[in-house]
Structure 1
Amino acid sequence: MQITFLGTSSGVPTRGRNVSSVGLRLDMRAEVWLFDCGEGTQHQLLRSDLKISQITRIFITHTHGDHIFGLMGLLATYGLAGSPTQIDIYGPPGLQEYLRACQKYSHTHLSYPLRVHVVEPGIVYEDGEYIVSCEPLKHRVTAFGYRIAEKDRAGRFNVEQAAALGIPSGPIYGKLKRGENVTLADGRLIKGSDLCAPPEAGRKVVYCTDTVYCDNAVTLAQEADVLIHEATFSHQDAQLAFERLHSTSTMAAQVALGAGVKHLIMTHFSPRYAPGNALMLEDLLKEARAIFPNTELAYDFMTYAVPRRLDRSLVTS
């Protein structure tokens, strides 16, 4: 699982930061899942290592413009990129009506199936490898945070040990790989668990924006490997955060600490903290690290490879 930040500014783009969008590239699958799609996202995709043609699912947190104004343009472009397949979009009530209006008044015809799913708290998507769930956040409009959980994987099957025990290859190996017990023709009982390494715990990524501090964010982020959380304001501007229902750096850190996450990446920064101002993003980082040390600031085109549970080394660029 590799995370790519396509936009890390709040409200409006700046010269160095576009508005909100995050891409998640899935292991062993030619798929990209997109989280939010602010204006200019398709331009950011073209400048990244992600391919528009590989996007299969888009998850929208809420319908503010800096999170959806790039969606219709991206969908139109997707239809021209190779052989388009179905795209599934997940988001709050009103998203489908917004897309229909965009198509109607721009006279846009999509050459592929588009399915829009109105999300409710709980599981919104599941397949053999991943579960995506959501919880409502606390913002000025209906907003959801998303949790992407990779399912646990069976431990490696020890083929060499099986061969040394004289176990014939074929369907028996398949049963043993699944952890089943097998009685061989000579009467020996072989336990699959004895030939398999411990299961590999699935990784968990959580995306929370826009929101002021809330208990649902802590619930959603429980034991996550990576929490991506908005930090629009400095702790010194907490009053603004409460008025506009956004988070400060310290709120993001408190969510990470309360949820027991392993790594916090802050994003969605107000342009007021540009270099040269009284407060800068490095100040927000210091505030957050005072509460949750394993914190870093996202920047456009930053990538983060989520480490497997058996390999806790961090990979960033």
Structure 2
Amino acid sequence: MQAFEGARVLRAVAEPRAGTQCTTVLPRTSPVEVQVEGRTVMNLPTGLDRVTFLTENRASAVWMEAQGATRPLNGCPADVRPGQVAADIADRMSCLGLGVDAGSRTAVGPETQTGASSGASSDARSEARARTASAPGGASEFATMEALSLPSVYIREPGFEPGTVAALEYDLGWRALAPSWRTVMPSIDEAAWAADPNTALFRAVGRAVLPHLATYEHGDLADEICARIVSFHMHAGGWVDCLSNVTQTAARPSPNGESETVAAIELSDFLRECAGTNWRESLIGREGEDALTRRREACSPASTTAATSVGAAETR
């Protein structure tokens, strides 16, 4: 013990990763304004304040960055390889200073002092509170994405990219069956799951429940997590853009009385859903005729090349 006499104890702080490859939806620098419907409810003047806030709202941060990693381009799904989105999400969290190591961590943080939701429903938060994930080979946000019922992002099998019907059905099946195993298996080991994600079972269940998802009177999905699932895949599939009009900056008076622009986080964006009321007409129909499949086929390089060739031939 004498060897440590006079030693200073320094607090470790996660710093955002620097570099030109960092691309995030949420701000990486400070100061940051936290707002509710445009009204400032919290100031985050330092990097530590920003990291602490996002850590407490980790599920919401992952949800926002998952949308950024799958944002459509010109109305077409992002061209991603199996597993690429999962790696992109981990990189984005590292850029924010929220990267995780290869050990275990709690999946979903508590609510903030403002009362904002952590991004998962109360059911998902309670289910995920004791859940941890072992991340083989480095950082992983599997535990949080699984708590949001979006484990399909981690499927390495071609055909399950975000925004495909296969991935949508898988996640809906996961949501439907989750209550049956939570009491006996509250923790999902990522490595064991990845060895056999049981795609046939979860797709079959998801396909069966899709036409029967409960809605409110005007057609909005009633179940919060199902609304997130449908929103995420319609977003990734190029049918809607969940990030349109997301608040990223705010104006506030500077010390000299002039207006200055600062980074901002709008808490209502954390709860944003974009499935809308017409999701049923878009997603349910004969195989291959749903909006996701048709949009993906129309945006495929082969379709684009064929359309260009036909157009050129018609002009001759």
For this structure pair, what is the TM-score category when the shorter chain's length is used for normalisation? under 0.3
Q: Between Structure 1 and Structure 2, which shows a larger proportion of helix residues?
A: 2
Q: Between Structure 1 and Structure 2, which shows a larger proportion of strand residues?
A: 1
**What TM-score, normalized by structure 1, do the two folds share?**
0.26
